[in-house]
Amino acid sequence: MKTHKILFLPHNQEITVPDGQTLIRAAMEAGVHINASCGGEGVCGKCRVIIEEGNVDEGITEKLNDDDLEKGYRLACKAIIRGDVTVRVPVESEVDASVLNMQRTARRTAQIVQPNFEDLKEQGLFIPPVEKIYLELPEPSVQDNLPDTSRLVSFLKLNHDEHRLVVSLPVIRQLPDIMRKDNFRVTATLVRPVQKGRKSHIIRIEPGDTTERNYAIAIDIGTTTIYGQLIDLKTGESLAEAADFNGQISYGEDVITRIVYAEKSGGLEKLHDVVVGTMNKIIKKIIRKARVERDEISSVTLAGNTTMTQLLLKVNPRYMRRSPYVPAATIYPPINAASLGLDVGEHAAALVYPQISSYVGGDIVAGVMGSGMYRNEELTLFMDIGTNAEIVIGNKDWLACAACSAGPAFEGGGIQFGMRAAKGAIEDFSINPLTLEPMNITIGNVRAKGICGSGLIIMVATMFEMGILDSQGKFNRDLDTSRIRQTDGIWEYVVVWQEDTQIDRDIVITEVDIENLIRAKGAIYSGCQTLLDEVGMDIDMVERIILAGGFGSYVDLEKSMTIGLLPEMDPDKITFIGNSSLMGARMSALSNHIRSDVTEVTRKMTNFELSETRSYMDHYVAALFLPHTDIAKFPKLKARLENRAQ
């Protein structure tokens, strides 16, 4: 990828960015403040900068006249970087350098690490659990009048080392006609067993050689979003991917409210039908995109939390929300996918990831498998952050896990102007330390209409470090700015004035919003600390942190540590692996060895119920501050705060 160097004056701050990025995003990443309210659409005209040297595409805007353009002025949100650039921020050029340094913190997100699925082939692990085998069988005669089923099975045993085979009744019904359609040249589809010595199941028989057309679908059944991926089982290639909001959202934002709904008359059936409906929309989209027929799908691998799994399978989840929090099962056998209502061929097998407990489900097991932490010696902390936060710690020798309810704050829930990460959501933010004027960047560079979770974290962390918020999340009411005000008895900061938004009112962040965020981050941090305590370890012993889920890709690591969401450690030790649940589901579709490993992983993973762990509440109460009641746990932040207080 082509990159360019950008030098910001008078800060003398240099950063390297990819070709085509806007100057305002480069400034944000460099920790350089530029006044900007509208989110990057170019309507507020406040992000004026001077291009002293270099090459940018000039965004057309009525906010700059010919005289401005001749002097080198551009709007940072509209200036597209096409070469090395030296840019001067004129408003801040008059600010004392020591003040500039107070608010300059370069953005740092987790290093993105994706698995190389080619490694499965190199390691000899590319053995899909559902396989197609082409056979040319001898035709029956008076001397050789074996039944069709026996002919098929005996030939497979003889030539493919499959010693224990089971033929399903639907296959037996089709077998006589299909075997004679192409003179006993047929393709058999087999589901391999997880453990050696078990029986392989013949689930389909087709005339001729169809081994080149064998596909699987991997699905992550999330509480909020469902993702699907179509995989070529011949090459291992991902051919298409799609996602949609889980239709169950209409019946509750979190798993507890959905369990409560499932307990009502007809509730379980309704939630099953709704989630299957969403999954079928995704299946239809990806098979159409990849030009694959539904009958060519041989398997569907499914990974979801325990509640989502039981709702899909129409298994009563009511006892999972009552002590001692017992799920109906942790391991499920292969299931006929069509019997679940999935719109695939009648023969396709559904392979469900096993669960650990009521609140640590198959999505987390899939993440552990996909990340590879179960094979490494490094002591690793795995975190999937969302409405429910799941935490796993361990290595190849042992694993321990726990789950905590963080609430919907990281996805915009419980925040007055909160929203999911979508076009118009403020995702990045900074404040001028003297004027307290904001710099907002939205997803899509359009006028703001709300604040997403990553933007909320950055706002709160920035305000805290600059003294606008105290450790309890309360605004400093003595500051000289019209942006901090009281409305209906609640103190708030105006992030965007009404005229610069997409909506008919000011966008604000309130002390109630901040309190909800503190509760959410407190639940996650205390969950990590409690789990570490239970296994007799400390955060200093952790060698690596893996972040999973869509939220983790956008989180600024330093800001997350500033508010006490993540424990303070070297950012180089933190990696992001994206949708680990979908990743694990795909790996399971490609490797029967992974499916075999899963059973061993689930056996050695110890689960801790935080609600039943006495120290959890103590840790939680201590974490209900920015960043924590014990600032010594965050020595780098403590040093920064002390330096800025001088």
In this structure, the answer to whether residues 278 and 358 fall within a common structural domain is yes
CA distances from 388 to 119, 348, 383, 410, 625 (A): 32, 31, 11, 10, 20
CATH at 31: 3.10.20.30
Question: End of a domain among 328, 363, 398?
Answer: 363
Return the pLDDT at 94.
38
- H-helix or E-strand spanning residue 53: strand 48-57
Q: pLDDT tens-digit profile of 159-181? A: 666 557 889 898 999 999 999 99
Does an H or E element contain 600, and which?
helix 592-604
- CA 150/CA 12 separation, integer angstroms: 80
Mean pLDDT, residues 585-609: 90
Same domain, 302 and 183: no
Instruction: Give pLDDT, residue 60.
Output: 60
Mean pLDDT for the stretch of residues 14-33: 88
Confidence (pTM)? 0.80
Residues 273 and 300 occupy one common structural domain: yes
Residue 239 is predicted with a pLDDT of 96
| Same structural domain, 193 and 167 | yes
Residues 225 and 317 in one domain: yes
Is pLDDT at 95 greater than 70 in this prediction? no
> Has residue 171 been placed in a domain?
yes
Quote the percentage of the chain above a pLDDT of 90: 60
The fraction of the chain above a pLDDT of 70, given in percent, is 93
Q: Are residue 175 and residue 232 in the same domain, yes or no?
A: no
Q: What is the mean pLDDT of residues 280-294?
A: 96
The angle at the Cα of 136, spanning 133 to 142, to the nearest 5 degrees, equals 135
Let me know the angle formed at the C-alpha of 584 by 337 and 544, rounded to the nearest 5 degrees.
160
Statement to judge: residues 158 and 232 lie in one domain: no
Rounded Cα distance between 29 and 26, Å, is 5
Query: 588 in a domain, yes or no?
Result: no
pLDDT at residue 336 above 90? yes
pLDDT score recorded for residue 444: 87
CATH number at residue 195: 3.10.20.880
Domain co-membership, 321 together with 341: yes
**What is the predicted pLDDT for the residue at 33?**
82
Domain range spanning residue 36? 1-106
User: In this structure, are 240 and 195 located in the same domain?
Assistant: no
Residue 286's pLDDT band, with cuts at 50, 70 and 90, is very high
Q: Tell me the C-alpha distance between 600 and 585, whole Å.
A: 17
Residues 227 and 359 in one domain: yes
Q: What is the tens place of the pLDDT at every residue in 391-402? A: 999 999 999 999
Could you tell me the pLDDT band of residue 517, with boundaries at 50, 70 and 90? very high
Is 40 among the domain residues?
yes
In a domain, 368, yes or no: no
Chain mean pLDDT for the chain:
88
Cα–Cα distances (Å) from 2 to 6, 17, 83, 556, in that order, read 13, 9, 9, 24
pLDDT of 93 over the 50 cut: no
Do 222 and 355 lie in a common domain? Answer: yes
Beta bridge partners of 216: 231, 299
Please report which confidence band the pLDDT of residue 553 belongs to, taking 50, 70 and 90 as the band edges.
low
| 229 and 355 part of one domain | yes
Query: Would residue 524 count as lying in a domain?
Result: no
Q: What is the pLDDT of residues 106-130, one digit of tens each?
A: 455 556 566 666 777 777 778 899 9
91, 106, 121: which is the final residue of a domain? 106
Residue 143 lies in a domain: yes
| DSSP H/E element including 496 | strand 490-496
Does any domain span residue 15?
yes
Given a contact cutoff of 8 angstroms between Cβ atoms, the answer to whether 346 and 360 are in contact is: no
Q: Considering the domain boundaries, does residue 272 fall inside one?
A: yes
Domain count, the chain: 3
- Do residues 352 and 302 make contact, with C-beta atoms less than 8 angstroms apart? yes
